[in-house]
Amino acid sequence: MDLIRFYVRKLFTVLKNEVIVLPSRVVVVVFFLFLLLLPVFTNNQYTLRIFTLTCIFAILAASWDLLSGFTGQINFGHALFFGVGAYAAAMSNLHVHLPPWASIPLGGLVAVLAGLIIGIPCLRLRGTYLALTTLAFPIILMGFVFAFPDLTGGELGISGIERIARSRVTNYYIVAGLMFGLCTIMWKITDSNTGIIFHAIREDELAVRASGVNTTRYKLLAFCLSGFFAGIAGGLYAHFMRIAGPSTLEVSMSFLVVIWAVFGGVATIYGPVGAVFILFPLLEFLRFWQEYRTLMFACVLIVILLYMPDGLFPWLRDKIETECPRCKIRNIATRTVCRVCSASLE
Amino acid sequence: MGEAFLEVMGLNKQFGGLKAVNDVNFSVAREEILGLIGPNGAGKTTLVRLITGILKADSGSILFKKREITGKKTWDIVNRGIACTFQNMRPFRRLPIIANVMVSCLSPRAMKRGEWVKRIEAKAMDALEFAGISDMALEDASTLSQGDLKRLEVARAIATEPELLILDEPFGGLSPAETELMAKSIHRLHKGGRFGRLHSEGPAMIIIVHKLQQLMKIADRIIVLNFGTIIADGTPVEIVNNSKVIEAYLGEGEI
Ligand SMILES: Nc1ncnc2c1ncn2[C@@H]1O[C@H](COP(=O)(O)OP(=O)(O)O)[C@@H](O)[C@H]1O
Ligand SMILES: [Mg+2]
């Protein structure tokens, strides 16, 4: 009993001292609770399905950010990883009868392989050339899909794949949990020493090499990590939709990922995740407005790009929080002195 | 002049029709500070870029500690113990200053040589302290002044714990007071003992400057480059009295 009381009190202390002090942390906690409690409030299959898909695409968008946002290796063919993961998971499930908990990580690993295969020729390229080359890879793979319909199911794709779990709610919880876990891992990676090198490569690759760091290895690492997470997203998608088709490799899929990331704010991880959670459900629920959907989408995007060039979420964050000029700790915007070092925030 | 530590032999580099580095031969000893001077466009920066592998030489060879380093990758050369600074500073502008230096501290060489009980951040802080900008460690590099950027370049270079440090115009754009400070830091670094656990000797140095005057006190030996070729090689006193050098600098006024 005492132990329980101790932990409850500790939880409250953490909430009071670490969470309440910073709006962005409150938002993360609220977001977590929203994900956790969503099935309690709605039994609607359609809503749950949309939010499951949202979680899957959030992983995908974050994985693009890990590669392109942080290291600056702009990838316009991110659908490749997604598609490879989806097809690998689908095939291993259908032909080898691997259960989802094995086929989905396998999809991630095959996508790592894809990352290596496209990463090596792409290492020599920069900027626009890199972007255009990466754009071509999923198209090439799509060609393979259509060329070998016996193996890949051609236009129809591979169907009849096992579900992740029996009930929709369990499905949702598994995917949402994975989304939270994987995005946290990605965020931790970008926050580590490796993340500093990724950042530095985006700023000035030559200077990183002159600092004695093998940038080739780190760029390949970025391709592989990004491929892994995107491949897992693809595997989840295949098992959730119970189909892996050529639509996972489409150019529009690649571009959607870029749009999400740019909308939310690149090189943040939380930005693309938040963007997916706004844009994807919005677009789905506006389905009855079919004709105007894309138009509105484009308008919103242009407004964001014009007025918030760093993306929506960094902009919002700067509105509600200020950085202490002395110790660089973030504070809620209403404070006048820093909560840690008491420096004036004006 | 002890045995050759860095040896450059018959080095050539052409940009289109322009011979930027033309049959250059020189060597640096382990405990030496070598000055490298020459008018604008003489090919000094190009020479540094050839040594550090940023540019590929057309012909010639470079030996470092008796090992061939011609054609090796830049990061490889840095990990063998040659560090350089950039004349036109190239900081990671959107990263905090300490993170700029941490990149160097994360190179295999620095990881292997440093005091391994120390955290990366602490090592980076050491280098910043040496360069005299540790008080701004958390600011973004974009907020630094010209002189402080030069210091950051030096901090980044010494964080890899080089045995040969090449400074490309470390005094460029600095005020006389800042120049004095920087020269003192360089001298202190050369005497060694401040950095690293394994070698406390302090690095050999090649210092590139525009004006000979700044080198008189600190350099052991000076070579003069003009139109890509070495026109003089000797002690500072020999160089100021060399007629070819005076001629090369004639158009530029003061040496
Ligand atoms: N990347 C390059 N491409 C073409 N020409 C270059 C390049 N880098 C330097 N040069 C030319 O080579 C010559 C030597 O330049 P540099 O080594 O920068 O001189 P210094 O550093 O001595 O002032 C200059 O004439 C310059 O215009
Ligand atoms: Mg120069």
- What is the per-residue pLDDT across B205-235, written as a single tens digit (0 to 9) for each? 999 998 788 888 889 999 999 999 999 999 9
B173 vs B160: CA distance, rounded Å: 25
Inter-chain touch B103–A196, beta carbons under 8 Å = yes
Going by their DSSP bridges, the two strands A330-332 and A243-244 should be labelled as unpaired
Mutate to test the interface with A, among B73, B86, B90, B92 (most CBs of A within 10 A): B92
Measure in Å the smallest separation between the Cα of A99 and chain B Cα atoms: 41
- pLDDT > 70: what percent of chain A? 100
B136 domain residue, yes or no: no
Residue A93: C-alpha distances to residues A212, A236, A241, B7 (Å) = 44, 12, 14, 61
How far is residue A295's CA from residue B160's CA, in Å, rounded to a whole number?
53
In this structure, the answer to whether residues A270 and A329 fall within a common structural domain is no
- Chain A residues in contact with B95 (beta carbon < 8 A): 196, 199-200, 203
Bridge partners for B14 per DSSP: B19
Contact B140, B94 (CB under 8 A): yes
**How far is ligand 1, taken at its centre, from the CA of residue B34, in Å?**
21
* Secondary structure element (H or E) that encloses residue B75, with its range: helix B74-80
CA-based end-to-end distance of chain A? 47
Distance CA A309, CA A262 (A): 9
Cβ–ligand 1 distance for B13 under 6 Å, the answer no
Q: What is the pLDDT of residue B1?
A: 45
Is A155 part of the contact surface with chain B (CB cutoff 8 Å)?
A: no
Cβ-based contacts of B104 with chain A (< 8 Å): 211-213
Same structural domain for residues A319 and A222?
A: no
Name, in order, each residue with C-beta under 8 angstroms of B39's C-beta and a sequence gap of 6 or more. Answer: B226, B248, B249, B251, B252
How many angstroms away from the CA of A322 is the closest CA of chain B? 15
Q: Is B42 in the pocket of ligand 1 (CB under 6 A)?
A: yes
- Whether the pLDDT of residue A41 is over 70: the answer is yes
Asked if residue A30 belongs to a domain, the reply is: no
Q: Is residue A66 part of a domain?
A: yes
Using the Cβ of A215 and the Cβ atoms of chain B, whether some distance falls under 8 Å is answered with yes
Residue numbers in A near B160 (CB within 8 A): 211-212
Computed over every residue of chain B, the mean pLDDT equals 88
Alpha-carbon span A211 to B83, nearest angstrom: 8
What would the two tokens of residue B79 be? 């990990």
What does the DSSP 8-state code read for residue B136?
Answer: G
Could you tell me where the DSSP H helices lie in chain A? 2-14, 23-41, 45-64, 70-71, 79-95, 100-122, 127-147, 149-152, 168-191, 193-203, 205-210, 215-241, 251-264, 270-285, 290-307, 312-320
- Looking at the complex, report in whole angstroms how far the Cα of residue B212 sits from the nearest Cα belonging to chain A: 27
d(CA A71, CA A60): 17
Task: Give the model's pLDDT for residue B250.
Answer: 62
Residues A297 and A149 in one domain: yes
**A200, B93: Cβ pair inside 8 Å?**
no
What's the CATH number where B241 sits? 3.40.50.300
Q: Do A212 and B160 touch (CB under 8 A)?
A: yes
B84 is written with which tokens?
Answer: 């350089």
Closest CA to B154 of B138, B171, B142, B139: B171
- Asked if residue A324 and residue A247 are part of one domain, the reply reads no
Within-domain flag for B96: no
Amino acid A68: pLDDT? 93
Rounded to a whole number of angstroms, the distance from the CA of A259 to the nearest CA of chain B is 23
Atom from ligand 1 closest to the CA of residue B168: 21
Contact (Cβ atoms closer than 8 angstroms) between residue B30 and residue B162: no
Tell me: do A114 and A238 sit in the same domain: yes
Asked whether the beta carbons of residue A193 and residue B120 sit closer than 8 angstroms, the reply is yes
The answer to whether the CB of B8 falls within 8 A of the CB of B62 is: yes
**Residue A32 forms part of a structural domain:** no
Q: What pLDDT sits at residue A291?
A: 73
Q: Is residue B203 part of a domain?
A: yes
Query: Which ligand 1 atom sits closest to the C-alpha of B55?
Result: 1
* CA angle, residues A105, A282, A65, in degrees to nearest 5: 45
Boundaries of domain holding B239 = 4-88+162-250
Would you state the pLDDT for residue A258? 92
Tokens for A128, please give them: 């626009």
What is the C-alpha separation between A273 and B149, in angstroms, rounded? 36
pLDDT at B251 over 80: no
Contact A210 B73 (CB under 8 A): no
> B206: CA distance to ligand 2 center in Å?
13
Rounded CA separation A323/A344 (Å): 11
A296 plus A196 within the same structural domain: yes
Query: Looking at residues A8-17, what average pLDDT do you find?
Result: 90
- Give yes or no for a contact between A246 and A82, defined as CB atoms under 8 angstroms apart: no
- Nearest ligand (C-alpha, residue B41): 1
Q: Quick check: A18 contacting B, CB < 8 Å?
A: no
Chain B positions touching A200 (Cβ under 8 A) are 92, 95, 99-100, 103
**Residue in A closest to B89 by C-alpha:** A207
Contact flag B75-A209 (C-beta cutoff 8 Å): yes
Q: Chain B within 8 Å of A124 (Cβ-Cβ)?
A: no
- pLDDT band at residue B254 using 50, 70 and 90 as cut-offs: low
- Tell me the C-alpha distance between A233 and A182, whole Å: 10
**Residues B117-126, mean pLDDT to the nearest whole number:** 86
Give the span between the Cα atoms of A229 and A236, in whole angstroms: 11
Does the residue A149 lie in any domain? yes
Q: Shortest Cα distance from A37 to chain B (angstroms)? A: 38
Which atom of ligand 1 sits closest to the CA of residue B225?
22
Cα torsion through A185, A186, A192, A195, rounded to 10: 170
| pLDDT tens digits for range A165-181 | 989 999 999 999 999 99
CB count within 10 Å of CB A151 equals 13
Is residue B56 in contact with ligand 1, taking CB distance under 6 Å?
no
pLDDT digits (tens, 9 = 90+) for A226-248: 999 999 999 999 999 999 999 99
Report the C-alpha gap between B21 and B60 in whole angstroms: 11
C-beta atoms of B92 and A210 within 8 A: no
Ligand 1 atom 17, closest CA? B43
What is the DSSP code (8-state) at residue A67? I
**Separation of alpha carbons A230 and A114, rounded Å:** 11
pLDDT at B197: 44
Q: Return the residue whose CA atom lies nearest to atom 12 of ligand 1.
A: B20
Pairing of strands A321-323, A330-332: antiparallel
User: Which residue minimizes the CA distance to atom 8 of ligand 1?
Assistant: B46
Among candidates B93, B107, B108 on the partner chain, residue whose Cβ is nearest the Cβ of A203? B93
Average pLDDT over residues A107-128: 89
Joined together, the tokens standing for residue A311 give 């993306």
CA of B174 to the centre of ligand 2 (A): 15
Q: Point out the ligand 1 atom lying closest to the alpha carbon of residue B169.
A: 21
B93 part of a folded domain: no
Percent of chain B whose pLDDT exceeds 90: 61
Q: Tokens for A341?
A: 């070092």
Length of chain B, in residues: 255
Give yes or no for residue A276 having a pLDDT over 80. Answer: yes
Longest CA pairwise span in chain A (Å) = 69
pLDDT computed for residue B79 by the predictor: 96
> How many folded domains does chain B comprise?
1
Q: What tokens does A264 get?
A: 């939310």
Asked if residue A340 and residue A303 are part of one domain, the reply reads no
Same domain, A177 and A193: yes
B42 lies in some domain: yes
* Residue B199: per-residue pLDDT: 47
Give the integer Cα–Cα distance in Å for B156 and B204. Answer: 17
* A83 band by pLDDT with thresholds 50, 70 and 90: very high
Rounded CA gap, B249 and B211, in Å? Answer: 10
Q: How would residue B198 be classed by pLDDT, with cut points 50, 70 and 90?
A: very low
Domain that holds residue A317: 311-346
The alpha-helical segments, DSSP class H, found in B15-87 are 44-51, 74-80
Distance of CA A116 to the CA centre of its chain: 20
Average pLDDT of the segment spanning B118-139: 89
The two three-digit tokens of residue A31, written as one number: 């977001």
Lowest mean pLDDT among A315-319, B113-117, B141-145: B113-117
Query: CA nearest A199 in B: which residue?
Result: B95
* Angle in degrees, 0-180, between the axes of helices A215-241 and A45-64, rounded to the nearest 10: 170
- Number of separate domains in chain A: 2
- Cβ atoms within 10 A of the Cβ of A321, count? 17
Q: Three-class SS of residue A18? A: helix
CA count, 13 A, side-chain hemisphere, B63: 13
